[in-house]
């Protein structure tokens, strides 16, 4: 009889674990099931470029079915764990509860944005974590420029043309840099917005940005971004957000309708529902082989787990794709070993380096002891990421997108209605509403434009 191995989460950790198991153990001996909320793997390092339009959004994801050979993909969301009966419960793609039995379980549900109890943040802040977030933000920036062409009131222009990011880690900084670059290019087509001027701002509570890389490179980054007119506020905190302004710890009130919150991540809340041991930071506690403390049959990896790394004094690995990917491969090997194939090994990984893309052919990079900045770092970052995105077709598509975008100006088509087809009886029902090929309920309609752009609560505009 075949063993049942269940992997939860189709991201860097989960996908690599499933692939490692199916590569090591024959399909006759093991049935691998990957429970994933989406049928694709999102290559998050490319999200800022998907938002800025240098990469087509579909090209930053790879279908899991294309990458996995013998693994059964089960779309759904894990809702609970019953260790007595060795089952997990999920809500399947239809929304119905379902049970899946396991002999071995690998948990890789990732993380969510870490928010703080700041008044108005949950209602008016936007995250930058998923493909939907990236597409929404791009459409929101374009729509803000469009609306700025239609209003004369200076206060409303300030609100529409001020874009604030909170959190100076690499994800937030790259998103800000790429989108500002995109907006500066796009501004050529918006005379009223150009005459009024845009304002891009980064708010960081700490004394420096990019805490994870060398201070020299962080200083270079700040210098480059300030030269581009980006207002960078260090040692400053967000105090409150409304639909029309933010308040900072300096007492300033800044008119804006765009607040992007990129101030770190926290483990996916599902880990709190499983009855497994957690560390003080809420990650699943595991041993050096990534087996969950106090269990024989469950492993946890990626952003959701505190995996000790002997290379860095057994401190938990940081929440990065580099680690999640290697932990997935290593956990797959250890699960196979527990089924009698190969030998288990503890996790250990030395960071290869890090890249922060600043747009405009500039980046900063740390590769071992080597510190690079400017166009060479930018070229290295692109080369590295192309080598890492899974699937040959995605590698080629990324290179083609970049090549095609070189001679042409930015695409400012705002396609927020995609995925929100209008009802058949809508008075303005038209072909561009995007019904063709959609399997969504026709009632899922994009709200009408009403001259207002507010974050999050109006995401479809
Ligand atoms: C904008 C951005 C840029 C980044 N750039 C870099 C970079 O350049 N380099 C780098 O190393 N790291 C980068 N990261 C971090 C990196 O994306 C994460 O560390 C990595 O994705 C973590 O892998 P994971 O497998 O733990 O989680 P994820 O890759 O997030 O995968 C988790 C998966 O689990 C699914 N899931 C969640 N809950 C459930 C549930 N209940 N049931 C079933 N499935 C569930 C999710 O839908 C998701 O598919 C970036 C992150 C962001 C947001």
Q: d(Cα 343, Cα 334) in Å, to the nearest integer?
A: 7
71 and 126 housed in the same domain: no
78 and 144 housed in the same domain: no
**Ligand 1 pocket test target in 17, 61, 80, 110 with most atoms within 8 Å of CB:** 110
> How far apart are the CA of 110 and the centre of ligand 1, in A?
5
CB of 17 within 6 A of ligand 1: the answer is: no
Task: For residue 429, name the pLDDT band (cuts at 50, 70, 90).
Answer: low
Model confidence at 78: pLDDT above 60: yes
Say what the pLDDT of residue 108 is.
98
What CATH number is associated with residue 315? 3.50.50.60
221 and 146 housed in the same domain: yes
CB of 302 within 6 A of ligand 1: the answer is: yes
232 and 218 housed in the same domain: yes
> How far apart are the CA of 252 and the centre of ligand 1, in A?
34
Q: Is residue 449 part of a domain?
A: no
Query: For residue 399, what are its two tokens?
Result: 């290179």
Say what the pLDDT of residue 351 is.
82
98 and 193 housed in the same domain: no
235 and 181 housed in the same domain: yes
Q: d(Cα 39, Cα 331) in Å, to the nearest integer?
A: 22
Look at ligand 1, atom 19, and give the residue with the nearest C-alpha: 320
Question: Quick one: which H or E segment has residue 203?
Answer: strand 199-203
176 and 312 housed in the same domain: no
What CATH number is associated with residue 359? 3.50.50.100
Counting atoms of ligand 1 from 1, which one is nearest the CA of 110?
Answer: 27
Domain boundaries, position 108: 3-113+266-338
CB of 39 within 6 A of ligand 1: the answer is: no
Query: For residue 244, what are its two tokens?
Result: 């029309």
17 and 134 housed in the same domain: no
The mean of the pLDDT values for the chain is: 90
Q: Is residue 432 part of a domain?
A: no
76 and 142 housed in the same domain: no
274 and 259 housed in the same domain: no
Counting atoms of ligand 1 from 1, which one is nearest the CA of 303?
Answer: 26
Summarize the confidence of residues 403-411 as an average pLDDT.
81
Rounded to a whole number of angstroms, the CA Rg of the chain reads 23
13 and 152 housed in the same domain: no
78 and 167 housed in the same domain: no
Query: For residue 444, what are its two tokens?
Result: 């899922």
Look at ligand 1, atom 38, and give the residue with the nearest C-alpha: 109
Number of domains in the chain: 2
171-230 confidence digits (pLDDT tens)? 999 999 999 999 999 999 999 999 999 999 999 999 999 988 889 999 999 999 999 999
| Choice among 107-121, 228-242, 405-419, 420-434 with the minimum mean pLDDT | 420-434
Q: Is residue 164 part of a domain?
A: yes
* 307-316 contacts, C-beta under 8 A, 24 or more apart: 307/347, 308/347, 309/347, 309/348, 309/349, 310/346, 310/348, 311/348, 311/349, 311/350, 314/288, 316/279, 316/281, 316/283
Summarize the confidence of residues 319-335 as an average pLDDT.
97
> How far apart are the CA of 324 and the centre of ligand 1, in A?
8
338-361 confidence digits (pLDDT tens)? 999 999 999 999 887 888 999 878
């Amino acid at each position: 009889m075949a063993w049942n191995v269940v992997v939860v989460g189709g991201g860097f950790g989960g996908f690599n674990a499933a692939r490692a198991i199916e590569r090591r153990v024959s399909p006759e001996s093991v049935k691998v099931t990957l429970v994933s909320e989406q049928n694709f793997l999102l290559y998050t390092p490319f999200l800022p470029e998907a938002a800025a339009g240098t990469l087509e959004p579909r090209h930053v994801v790879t279908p899991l079915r294309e990458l996995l050979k013998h693994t059964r993909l089960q779309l759904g969301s894990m809702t609970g764990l019953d260790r007595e009966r060795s089952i997990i419960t999920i809500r399947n793609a239809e929304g119905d509860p379902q049970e899946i039995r396991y002999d071995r379980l690998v948990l890789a549900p990732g993380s969510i944005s870490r928010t703080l109890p700041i008044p108005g943040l949950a209602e008016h802040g936007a995250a930058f974590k998923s493909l939907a977030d990236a597409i929404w933000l791009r459409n929101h920036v374009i729509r803000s420029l469009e609306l700025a062409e239609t209003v004369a009131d200076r206060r409303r222009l300030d609100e529409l043309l001020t874009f604030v990011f909170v959190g100076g880690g690499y994800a937030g900084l790259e998103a800000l840099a790429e989108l500002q670059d995109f907006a500066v290019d796009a501004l050529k087509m918006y005379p009223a917005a150009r005459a009024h001027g845009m304002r891009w701002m980064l708010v960081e509570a700490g004394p420096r940005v990019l805490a994870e890389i060398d201070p020299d490179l962080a200083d270079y980054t700040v210098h480059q971004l300030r030269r581009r007119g980006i207002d960078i506020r260090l040692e400053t905190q967000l105090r409150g957000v409304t639909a029309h302004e933010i308040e900072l710890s300096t007492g300033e009130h800044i008119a804006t309708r765009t607040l992007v919150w990129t101030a770190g991540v926290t483990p996916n809340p599902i880990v709190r529902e499983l009855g497994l041991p957690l560390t003080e930071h809420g990650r699943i506690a595991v041993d050096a082989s990534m087996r969950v403390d106090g269990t024989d049959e469950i492993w946890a990896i990626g952003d959701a787990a505190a995996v000790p790394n002997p290379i860095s004094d057994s401190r938990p690995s940081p929440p990065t794709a580099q680690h999640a990917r290697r932990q997935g491969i290593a956990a797959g090997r250890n699960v196979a070993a527990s089924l009698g194939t190969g030998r288990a090994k503890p996790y250990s990984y030395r960071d290869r380096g890090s890249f922060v893309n600043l747009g405009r052919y500039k980046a900063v990079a740390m590769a071992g002891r080597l510190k690079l900045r400017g166009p060479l770092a930018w070229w290295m970052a692109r080369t590295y990421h192309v080598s890492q995105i899974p699937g040959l077709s995605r590698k080629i598509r990324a290179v083609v997108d970049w090549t095609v975008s070189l001679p042409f100006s930015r695409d400012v088509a705002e396609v927020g209605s995609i995925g929100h087809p209008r009802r058949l009886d809508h008075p303005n029902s038209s072909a561009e509403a995007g019904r063709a090929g959609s399997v969504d309920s026709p009632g899922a309609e994009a709200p009408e434009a009403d001259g207002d752009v507010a974050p999050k609560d109006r995401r479809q505009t």
